[in-house]
A and B are shown apart, each in its own frame.
Chain A
Amino acid sequence: MSGQSGRAALWWLTGLALIVAPFALGTYHAYLVNLALINIILAIGLNLLTGNSGQISLCHSSFMAIGAYGFTLLNNLYHWPVPFAVVAAVLLASIGGYAVGYPARRLSGIYLALATLAFLALTQVVIEEFPDLTGGIRGLKIEAMNWFGLPIDHKYLVYFLLLGCTALGVYAAKQIMDNRLGRAFDAIRTSPQGAQALGIPVAEIKLTAFVISAAYAGLAGALLSMVVGFIDPVEFGVSAAIRYITFIVIGGMGSVAGSIAGAVALTGLPEALRPVKEYSDLVYAALLLLSLLFMPNGLVGLASALRRKP
């Protein structure tokens, strides 16, 4: 039983470390932790859609964009209090998820990939063609945020909001996977015919997966704009979409643990690559390719394979 209590101790330690982090770490490392948490939220959402319900999506970054611009505009133009703006951003992104998921629910494979690519291209066009609203390719700066008028140093607030959202995201995903929705996701991925025969409404479930994953991405987008203070549309293009897919391929598709592993591991990567920043896209793409070929179950799969070997 020491394995169990050992693991529990690890959780408590991680939790403690996370709570203490913003006070103990310097600005730069605190920023990295923030980024890792955001990436975890992104990865979990994408994994539910692709790893579990089996739908290829190249527009995850677009849902993130909706969340980011939604939050920033509500903040800049209407001074909504932060929590309300975040919730609104999530809702807007979910609507985006519905807009893509609804027509896409009968598509699969490359046709689905193309449909999501079309949405990605469309959002990029919209971002560029309405610069008065979105700041165009120059980006959008976030203005002073409204924490119900309280004069608190928002750096800590942002962190704990982020931590809370991540915890909620992890919890919600685990709940989904342990309940009938998660089972339905796995069923429609592995055997749509079998799932239908058991009464699972495949198209409806696929749509639900899109909406949920878009919500996660929208949340991540809103939080990212809070943390960085600035939206750069380059974060929402094809390269970014591939990067997020890399999180789940390398971490392990289909599990929450895989999402966390991949997000954390790959948040550290750009930092490790800092001295050779120009190589970052190359390294990402190469890692992605190698992982697809040689480590199809990701880090999580590697870990359980190692555990099985005596």
Chain B
Amino acid sequence: MTASVLLQLLVSGLSVGSIYAIVALALVIPFKASGILNFGQGEIVTVGAYTALVLVGFGMSYWLVLPLTVVIGLLAGIVIERGFIRPIMAAPEFTLVIATFAVGLILKSAIRLYWQDNPFALETPLNADPIHFAGVVLNPLYLWVVLCTLLLVVFLAYFFKYNRLGKSMRAVSQSHDAARLMGIGVERVLMISWGMSAAIGALAGILLAPIVGINPEMGHLVLKALVAAVIGGFTSLPGAFFGGIALGLVETYSGAFFGSTMKNIIPFVLLVVFLLIRPYGLFGKPPVVRI
């Protein structure tokens, strides 16, 4: 194991981890705001990828398609919240879990109906030759993913700390009632948090597309993002980020050292371990139980 190989693994681990981190963030944001875990998030990622495919098919430049996909994701999230989530918010947990699964399945089958299982590639300016740096072969796509993730994280950090809407979202995450008393439009905030979550999911989709190819089963990675969110803690945004990166690194290194079987098994073993020992993750907090 030379240093350059380890470095190589680091880069791929970070980029895989970045995707996990992005999707984990997309899961945690609406969970914090509304208490609902969107098991259909994977399909939103898939929708993002196919949206990019369609837009690129219109001949648009990647640099236009990227923000446009994100905006479309935002709108889609708002529509989903209004149409599907709002009516069932008060339902028992079972209904919520299964309903989000169902919505995801509807999205996936609709995509499959039109595009079948044909895989598609996404041409981006970054599908370029690898860069050689310090004896390491770097895929610019991977670097781009890591860069975008960092930018996203910085944006979110700023947004939640200084932006008024971001601060309202934090208030809503703590307590709907208290936020309402402070004059915050809770319904509007919920709508926006779902919109943001879908926008982030769509971003993950367009970032993921050139790396793994576009197909209806892309959303399968939501399982890994869920693991990342559990590791980080569902109530913590930094946790989601670190959980994703950590998972990406663990997965990549264990794949290299122990083979692909181990690589596929480890995330779920981690999931079970955390659920048993630290269900609230490294950074999460247990809910306050009123007696």
Direct A–B contact in the complex, CB atoms closer than 8 angstroms: yes
Q: Which residues of A are in contact with B by a Cβ distance under 8 Å?
A: 50, 54, 56, 103, 107, 109-111, 113-115, 117-119, 121-122, 125, 128-129, 238-239, 242, 245, 249, 278-279, 281-282, 284-286, 288-289, 292-293, 296
Query: Given A110-B93, A293-B87, A239–B226 Cβ distance below 8 Å?
Result: no
**A87 CA to B218 CA, complexed, in Å:** 38
**In contact, A114 and B230 (Cβ under 8 angstroms):** yes
**In contact, B105 and A114 (Cβ under 8 angstroms):** no
With beta carbons under 8 angstroms apart, the residue of B98, B101, B264, B279 that contacts A107 is: B279
Please tell me if B95 contacts chain A, counting CB pairs below 8 Å: yes
**A54 CA to B97 CA, complexed, in Å:** 13
A40 to chain B, nearest CB (A): 21
28 A/B residue pairs, CB under 8 Å, sorted by A: A103-B272, A103-B275, A109-B97, A110-B37, A111-B275, A113-B97, A114-B230, A114-B271, A115-B271, A115-B272, A118-B227, A118-B268, A118-B271, A118-B272, A129-B260, A129-B265, A242-B98, A242-B101, A245-B98, A278-B109, A278-B113, A281-B105, A281-B109, A282-B106, A285-B103, A288-B98, A292-B91, A293-B88
Known interface pairs A110-B93, A292-B88; 19 further A-B residue pairs with C-beta atoms within 8 A, sorted by A's residue number: A56-B93, A56-B94, A103-B275, A111-B279, A114-B226, A115-B272, A121-B223, A125-B265, A129-B264, A278-B112, A281-B105, A282-B106, A285-B102, A285-B106, A289-B103, A292-B98, A292-B99, A293-B88, A293-B99
Question: Using Cβ atoms and an 8 Å threshold, which residues of chain B touch A111?
Answer: 275, 279
**In contact, B272 and A50 (Cβ under 8 angstroms):** no
A288 to chain B, nearest CB (A): 5
Q: Which residues of B are in contact with A by a Cβ distance under 8 Å?
A: 37, 39, 84, 87-88, 91, 93-95, 97-99, 101-103, 105-106, 108-110, 112-113, 223, 226-227, 230, 260-261, 264-265, 268-269, 271-272, 275-276, 279
B291 to chain A, nearest CB (A): 10
Query: Given A117-B223, A117-B226, A125–B268 Cβ distance below 8 Å?
Result: yes
**In contact, B264 and A279 (Cβ under 8 angstroms):** no
**A279 CA to B109 CA, complexed, in Å:** 7
**In contact, A288 and B261 (Cβ under 8 angstroms):** no
B258 to chain A, nearest CB (A): 12
B225 to chain A, nearest CB (A): 11
B280 to chain A, nearest CB (A): 9
